[in-house]
Structure 1
Amino acid sequence: MIKKLFLIVAITFLTQSIHAQETQYQYLSGKDKDHTVAWDFFINTGMKSGHWDKIQVPSNWEQQGFGTYNYYKDTQNPEETGQYKYKFKVAKSNAGKEIFIVFEAAMTEAEVKINGKSAGPIHQGGFYTFQYNITTLLNFEGENLLEVKVSKQSADKSVNNAERKADFWLFGGIFRPVYLKILPKAHVDRIAIDAKANGTFNLDAYTANAPVGSVLKAQVQKLSGEKIGLDISSRITDLDKATTIKGQFKDINLWNPESPNLYQVIVSLSDANGKLIHRIKQKFGFRTAELRPQDGFYVNNKKVIFKGVNRHSEWPESGRTLSKALNIEDVKLIKEMNMNAVRMSHYPPDPSFLDACDSLGLFVINELTGWQAKYDTEVGTKLVKELVVRDVNHPSIVMWANGNEGGFNFDLDHLYAKYDNQSRLVIHPWERFNGTDTKHYPDYNYVVNTTLYGTDVFFPTEFMHGLHDGGHGAGLDDFWSMMMKHPYAAGGFLWSFADEGVTRLDRNGEMDIQGNAAPDGILGPHREKEGSFYTIKEIWSPVQITLKDLPVNFDGKIAVENQYAFTNLNQCSFEWRLAKLPAAGTNNMAKVSASGQLKGIGLLPGEKSFLTIPLPANWTSNDVLYLTAFDPYKKELFTWSWPVKMPVAPVATGTAAKSKIEFMETNKALTLKVDGIIYLFDKKTGYIQSVTNSKSEISLSGGPALAGVKCELKDFKHYTSGEDYILEPVYNSEAKFKVKWIFSSGKQVKLDYEYATQGEVDFMGITFNYPEANITGMAWEGNGPYRVWKNRLKGTSFGVWDTGFNNTITGESWKYPEFKGYYANIYWVTIKNKQAPFTVYTSKKNTFFQMLKPQKAAGATNNNTTPAFPDGDLGFLDAISPIGTKFQSADKLGPQSQKNMQLNYSWNKGSLWFDFK
Structure 2
Amino acid sequence: MLKFFISPKISNYYSQYLRNRFRVLGIFKFKFFKLGIILIKTNNPLIRSQFANKMTYKKCLKQTNESFHYTVWLPILMSSIAFFLFETNAYSQVYERHYLSGKDAATAVAWDFMVDGGRRAGEWAKIPVPSNWELHGFGTYNYGHDHRNSDRVLGKEKGFYKLEFDAPDAWKGQVVQLVFEGAMTDTEVKVNGKVAGDVFQGGFYRFSHDITPLLNFGQENFLEVEVAKHSANASVNRAEREADYWIFGGIYRPVYLEILPELHFQRVAVNPQANGEFEALVVLNKSVEDGLLEVELFELGDEKSLGKINTPITGEEIQIDGVFEGIQSWNPESPKMYKAVLSLKEKGKTVFEKSEKIGFRTVELREQDGIYVNGKRVIFKGVNRHSFYPSSGRALSDANHLEDIQLMKEMNMNAVRMSHYPPDERFLDLCDSLGLFVLNEVAGWQQGYDTEIGPKVIKATVWKDANHPSVIIWDHGNEGGWDFENEKWFHQYDIQKRPVIYPWLIRNGVDTHHYFQYNAGVQRLTHGITPFFPTEFMHGLYDGGHGAGLEDYWRDFMRNPVAAGGFLWVFADEAVVRTDRDGALDADGNHAPDGILGPYKEKEGSFYTIKNIWSPIQIAPFVMNRHFDGNLWIENHYLYSSLTGCRLEWSLHKLEGFDKEINLDEGKLYLPDIGLGERKRVKIPLSAEFEEADFLRVAAYDWNGMELYTWSWAISGISEFADRLSASSFDMYGLTEVDEEDGLLKVKAGEMYFEFSLNDGQLKLVQKNDKDIAFKDGPIAVGVNSEVEGVNWETDPDGSINIQSSYTSYPKRSTWRVLPDGTLELEADGPLLNGQMVSYLGLSFTYPENKVKGVKWIGNGPYRVWKNREKGVEFGLWEKAYNNTITGYSYDNLVYPEFKGYHANLYALQLLTEEGIIQIVSKSPGMYFKLYNPENSPHATPGVTPEMPEGDLNFLHQISPIGNKFAGPETMGPSGNKIRAVSHGGDQAFGIKLRITFEDL
Range of TM-score over shorter length: over 0.9
Q: Secondary structure at the match of 1:166?
A: coil
CA contact (8 A) 1:550 1:642 kept: yes
Deviation string, structure 1 residues 116-172 (Cα, Å, up to 9, x no partner): 111100000000010000000011132211111111111110000000110000001
CA distance in 2, matches of 1:736, 1:657: 35
CA distance in 2, matches of 1:2, 1:329: 50
1:684 maps onto 2:763 in alignment: no
1:142 maps onto 2:219 in alignment: yes
Aligned to 1:840: 920
Between 777-786 and 5-14, report the one with greater CA deviation: 5-14
Residue from 705, 709, 726 that aligns with 1:638: 709
Percent of aligned pairs with the same amino acid: 45
Aligned to 1:858: 938
Aligned to 2:383: 309
Matches within 5 A, 1:513-524: 513-524=587-598
Aligned to 1:914: 996
Between 644-653 and 506-515, report the one with greater CA deviation: 644-653
1:259 maps onto 2:331 in alignment: no
CA distance in 2, matches of 1:17, 1:664: 107
Between 766-775 and 73-82, report the one with greater CA deviation: 73-82
How far did residue 715 of structure 1 move? 2.9
Query: What amino acid does structure 1 have at the position aligned with 2:959?
Result: I
How far did residue 444 of structure 1 move? 0.4
CA distance in 2, matches of 1:799, 1:809: 25
Query: What amino acid does structure 1 have at the position aligned with 2:667?
Result: G
CA distance in 2, matches of 1:417, 1:799: 55
Residue from 843, 862, 872 that aligns with 2:951: 872
CA contact (8 A) 1:504 1:512 kept: yes
CA distance in 2, matches of 1:886, 1:653: 50
Residue from 106, 117, 123 that aligns with 1:34: 106
CA distance in 1, matches of 2:698, 2:143: 45
Gaps of 5+ in 2: 1-72, 148-152
Residue from 736, 751, 754 that aligns with 2:826: 751
How many residue pairs get aligned? The number is 910
Aligned to 2:964: 885
Query: What amino acid does structure 2 have at the position aligned with 1:675?
Result: G
CA distance in 1, matches of 2:522, 2:748: 60
Matches within 5 A, 1:437-456: 437-446=511-520, 450=524, 453-456=527-530
CA contact (8 A) 1:718 1:725 kept: no
CA distance in 1, matches of 2:255, 2:656: 58
Query: What amino acid does structure 2 have at the position aligned with 1:818?
Result: E
How far did residue 290 of structure 1 move? 1.1
How far did residue 14 of structure 1 move? 6.9
1:719 maps onto 2:794 in alignment: yes
Residue from 877, 884, 905 that aligns with 1:825: 905
Between 197-206 and 899-908, report the one with greater CA deviation: 899-908
CA contact (8 A) 2:807 2:813 kept: no
Query: What amino acid does structure 1 have at the position aligned with 2:851?
Result: N
CA contact (8 A) 1:716 1:727 kept: no
How far did residue 910 of structure 1 move? 2.3
Aligned to 1:531: 605
Matches within 5 A, 1:668-683: 668-683=743-758
Aligned to 1:549: 623
Aligned to 1:799: 876
Residue from 824, 847, 850 that aligns with 1:773: 850
CA contact (8 A) 1:219 1:227 kept: no
Flag the 1:73–1:121 CA change in 2: closer, same or farther, 3 A. farther
CA contact (8 A) 2:749 2:822 kept: no
CA distance in 1, matches of 2:259, 2:145: 38
CA distance in 2, matches of 1:809, 1:695: 37
How far did residue 690 of structure 1 move? 2.4
Aligned to 1:621: 692
Matches within 5 A, 1:81-120: 81-120=158-197
1:57 maps onto 2:129 in alignment: yes
CA distance in 1, matches of 2:622, 2:971: 25
How far did residue 9 of structure 1 move? 7.0
CA distance in 2, matches of 1:139, 1:185: 18
Flag the 1:17–1:304 CA change in 2: closer, same or farther, 3 A. farther
Query: What amino acid does structure 2 have at the position aligned with 1:50?
Result: G
CA distance in 1, matches of 2:247, 2:621: 47
Matches within 5 A, 1:158-237: 158-237=235-314
How far did residue 450 of structure 1 move? 3.7
CA contact (8 A) 2:817 2:826 kept: yes
Deviation string, structure 1 residues 722-756 (Cα, Å, up to 9, x no partner): 02333334334345431111222247321111143
CA distance in 2, matches of 1:129, 1:522: 30
CA distance in 2, matches of 1:447, 1:634: 41
Flag the 1:668–1:217 CA change in 2: closer, same or farther, 3 A. same
Residue from 307, 318, 330 that aligns with 2:392: 318
CA distance in 1, matches of 2:176, 2:961: 60
How far did residue 342 of structure 1 move? 0.1
Matches within 5 A, 1:151-162: 151-162=228-239
How far did residue 869 of structure 1 move? 1.5
How far did residue 908 of structure 1 move? 4.2
How far did residue 858 of structure 1 move? 1.6
Between 736-745 and 555-564, report the one with greater CA deviation: 736-745
Query: What amino acid does structure 2 have at the position aligned with 1:759?
Result: Q
Flag the 1:726–1:16 CA change in 2: closer, same or farther, 3 A. farther
CA distance in 1, matches of 2:948, 2:332: 42
Q: Secondary structure at the match of 2:551?
A: helix
Q: Secondary structure at the match of 2:461?
A: helix
Query: What amino acid does structure 2 have at the position aligned with 1:341?
Result: A
Query: What amino acid does structure 1 have at the position aligned with 2:898?
Result: E
Flag the 1:735–1:454 CA change in 2: closer, same or farther, 3 A. closer
Q: Secondary structure at the match of 2:492?
A: helix
Flag the 1:208–1:659 CA change in 2: closer, same or farther, 3 A. same
Deviation string, structure 1 residues 290-339 (Cα, Å, up to 9, x no partner): 11111111111111101000000000000000011110111110000000
Aligned to 2:573: 499
Residue from 695, 704, 707 that aligns with 2:779: 704
CA distance in 1, matches of 2:602, 2:854: 20
Query: What amino acid does structure 2 have at the position aligned with 1:506?
Result: D
User: Which of structure 1's runs of 4+ aligned residues deviate more than 4 A?
Assistant: 1-19, 653-656, 905-908
Query: What amino acid does structure 1 have at the position aligned with 2:951?
Result: G
Q: Secondary structure at the match of 1:430?
A: coil
How far did residue 212 of structure 1 move? 3.1
Flag the 1:309–1:542 CA change in 2: closer, same or farther, 3 A. same
How far did residue 2 of structure 1 move? 8.0
CA contact (8 A) 1:448 1:482 kept: no
Gaps of 5+ in 1: none
CA contact (8 A) 1:308 1:341 kept: yes
Q: Secondary structure at the match of 2:409?
A: helix
How far did residue 228 of structure 1 move? 4.0
Residue from 642, 646, 652 that aligns with 2:727: 652
How far did residue 24 of structure 1 move? 2.7
Matches within 5 A, 1:409-448: 409-446=483-520
- Provide TM-score, normalisation by structure 2: 0.89
CA contact (8 A) 2:328 2:360 kept: yes
How far did residue 90 of structure 1 move? 1.2
Aligned to 1:601: 672
Flag the 1:449–1:619 CA change in 2: closer, same or farther, 3 A. farther
CA contact (8 A) 2:652 2:689 kept: no
How far did residue 515 of structure 1 move? 1.1
How far did residue 763 of structure 1 move? 0.6
CA distance in 2, matches of 1:657, 1:459: 68
Residue from 582, 590, 614 that aligns with 1:540: 614
1:332 maps onto 2:406 in alignment: yes
Flag the 1:103–1:11 CA change in 2: closer, same or farther, 3 A. closer
How far did residue 11 of structure 1 move? 7.7
Aligned to 1:22: 94
CA distance in 2, matches of 1:219, 1:407: 41
CA contact (8 A) 2:735 2:799 kept: no
Q: Secondary structure at the match of 1:79?
A: coil
